[in-house]
A and B are shown apart, each in its own frame.
Chain A
Amino acid sequence: MDQYTLNLLVVGASFALYIGIAIWARAGSTAEFYAAGQGVPPVMNGMATAADWMSAASFISMAGIIALAPAGGYTQSAFLMGWTGGYVLLALLLAPYLRKFGKFTVPEFVGDRFYSGGARLVAVICLIVISVTYVIGQMRGVGVTFARFLEVSTDTGLYIGAAIVFAYAVFGGMKGITYTQVAQYCVLIVAYTIPAIFISLSLTGSFLPQLGLFGTYAPSGGDVAFLTKLDQVVVELGFTQYTSHTTSTLNMFLFTMSLMIGTAGLPHVIIRFFTVPKVADARWSAGWALVFIALLYTVAPAVGSMARLNLTTTFWPNAVAGQALEGDAISLEAINTDPNLSWINTWENTGLLAFEDKNGDGLIQYYNDANPAMQAIAAERGWTGNELTKVDNDMMVLANPEIAQLPGWVIALVAAGGLAAALSTAAGLLLAISSAISHDLIKGSINPNISEKGELMAARVSMAFAIVVATWLGLNPPGFAAQVVALAFGLAAATIFPVLMMGIFSKKVNKEGAIAGMLVGLIATSVYIFLYLGWFFVPGTAMLANTPDAWLFGIAPASFGTIGAILNFVTAYVVSSMTRPVPEHIQELVESIRVPKGAGAATGHH
């Protein structure tokens, strides 16, 4: 059986499973549509949260970004710490109290705590901006995955993916999504770890990739540490040392912080904690979610570094046992005839990988042609530039099993895993968007008398609309899947997290303060992002070059969420101190959400 058929079979089977579950657990009421009727136990909820949370960015993109980072893999540790550390904030600062509060949506909490429909409306706007940005990243991931395994262009892949996301998010609702996500978690974690185990065994002799990363390099006899070998190989070819810290410490700090507080402020993750039976369960749920997330996140740095080494040794076969440059680079003839290297041509078809024999010597030299020392060596040897002209970050994880020459079923499984990750997150996000529009916007302010049926209809229509917008923007994404997603985190960090935290931990912040804080955070962060990446991400509208030199104090757009959050906190406190104090009954509400006793089931009515 050829690879194409195998891909179709495995991906098809996984889809049949999800759709089956979605039909079996179809939402009948608004309570089930939004919050799965509170009947989900902590471990299951943790697993579903993990699937919801780990998106195309985590699965497809993150290891590739770590692997191929021009400034070295260490600098991208921000993703690893940021996307897990946020759960500590969520578990300690938000989840138990929001569960105690017991409503369906984040804007509903903001509206009640800050006794204002205006605050609720601003929260809805923040939520929509965050979620739509996030969905764009997912759409890019779906497009890349479909492009590879159906062997079509990335754009066509995107259209197919959009249609599938639409079909199953619209019918399922939260209940369907929760159980489907448990299945998707299983598919994605198996798909991620199996190739990692195979590769770790062959490169380091260690069964656990987590140990392999800090183990020894097996193919050259095991006398050198794996990371030392990787450093040595990339440095020889003129690239930055993998483990060194070469970029701005300030930017790395702010970026990590932005991802952390953004994680704790993501509406589609927060609503997961409304679906557990008790406050104590909300605390455990966050822990279980992080267990399931950590399974992937501790494997990812191993996947990234091992993929980088495998890629490099594929192009420089001599690097396995000795120095890369002592032997010849890979030949064009080998790429075209060796069945083990057929992935190079298949990936070239997707447009995510490109090579060109610039000097016509029949060999493909992969090196850093921006490095002066390498330019000297290149001139001596008659090379006219790096001939592996493009390796897209987003292809690394998907291509990884092929580069490592693993069996066909593993390759198919990874495709299924990538789709599971992208689809589960896209569905969760669309649910958050649709509930914000139908529940908070339409039922909450425009038409409070809308029937339950009408509300569900409005939810589905807004989901459809959100998919269309995200697909259109996904055709021209402002970056790789993980980078687009990082922008969504910046926005969440600057808006939702501060307002929720102040709502719980301060009795002084009033409605004026909350509204001003959210607006300042949202506007400052989005304007900073749009200046560098284009207004509303429309291509060609960027006003400043997106380079470290042009950034304010060297702060990247994705790192600005931390600054936005600080502005939000400061504005809220200053404005609150100048305006009327918080009414007595709201202070009592704050008192009541601080103690677990007396938490009922979540309701949609005031």
Chain B
Amino acid sequence: MAEKTSSNAYWDANIRIISICLAIWFLCSFGFGILLRPMLSGISVGGTDLGFWFAQQGSILVFLVLIFFYAWKMNKVDAEHGVEE
């Protein structure tokens, strides 16, 4: 039973981290890159606006950071819950 609780806590922690990462993922690509572009049109970046930068470059950089953050964070969480390999 103790193991079950521990694995539930582990899974909950995992779901929480995934949700945060995916919220940022959505905001930077679909948000800033597409839906919110008109709102950001006042901020100019090299001949165009911030939304264009997010759509063609910024979002990709954010994706990279997210994946490495998740890998680093989860490997730590694995160890905390004693479920690492």
Contact = CB atoms under 8 A, between A and B. Distances in A.
Given A85-B25, A280-B78, A226 B47 contact: yes
Given A214-B45, A256-B30, A596-B78, A88 B57 contact: no
A228 to B, nearest CB: 4
A81 B35 CA distance: 14
A597 interface: yes
| Most chain A Cβ neighbours within 10 Å, of B7, B14, B22, B71 | B71
Interface residues of A, number: 52
B47 A228 contact: yes
Interface in A161-194: none
Interface stretch (A8-16, A245-253, A414-422): A245-253
Contacts of B38: 245
Contact of A74 (B21, B52, B74): B52
Interface in A204-228: 210, 213-216, 224-228
A210 B11 CA distance: 39
B30 A77 contact: no
Given A80-B56, A85-B59, A291-B64, A91 B47 contact: no
| Most chain A Cβ neighbours within 10 Å, of B25, B37, B45, B60 | B60
B3 to A, nearest CB: 10
Nearest to B14: A594
Contact of A245 (B14, B25, B37, B82): B37
Interface string A281-319: 001101100110010011001000000000000000000
B24 to A, nearest CB: 9
Contacts of A290: 63-64, 67
| Most chain A Cβ neighbours within 10 Å, of B18, B35, B38, B48 | B48
A192 to B, nearest CB: 15
B55 A84 contact: no
B46 A214 contact: yes
A348 interface: no
A216 B45 CA distance: 11
Interface string A91-117: 111001000000000000000000000
Interface residues of B, number: 42
A283 B75 contact: yes
B14 to A, nearest CB: 8
A243 interface: yes
B52 A92 contact: no
A243 B52 contact: yes
Contact of B34 (A213, A249, A283): A249
Nearest to A91: B67
A504 to B, nearest CB: 11
A81 B55 contact: yes
B60 A297 contact: yes
A361 interface: no
Given A245-B37, A298-B57, A597-B85, A225 B64 contact: no
B59 A84 contact: yes
A88 B22 contact: yes
A182 B7 CA distance: 38
Interface of B: 7, 10-11, 14, 18, 21-22, 25, 29-30, 33-35, 37-38, 45-49, 52-53, 55-57, 59-61, 63-64, 66-68, 70-71, 74-75, 78, 82-85
Q: Which 10 A-B pairs have the closest CB atoms?
A: A225-B47, A214-B46, A227-B47, A77-B55, A283-B71, A228-B47, A287-B67, A301-B56, A595-B83, A597-B83
7 contacts: A84-B59, A227-B48, A260-B29, A278-B85, A290-B63, A301-B56, A595-B83
Interface of A: 74, 77, 80-81, 84-85, 87-88, 91-93, 96, 210, 213-216, 224-229, 231, 243, 245, 249, 252-253, 256-257, 260, 278-280, 283-284, 286-287, 290-291, 294, 297-298, 301, 591, 594-599
Given A88-B63, A228-B47, A256-B33, 12 more contacts: A84-B59, A92-B67, A225-B46, A243-B48, A256-B29, A280-B84, A280-B85, A283-B74, A287-B67, A298-B61, A595-B83, A596-B84
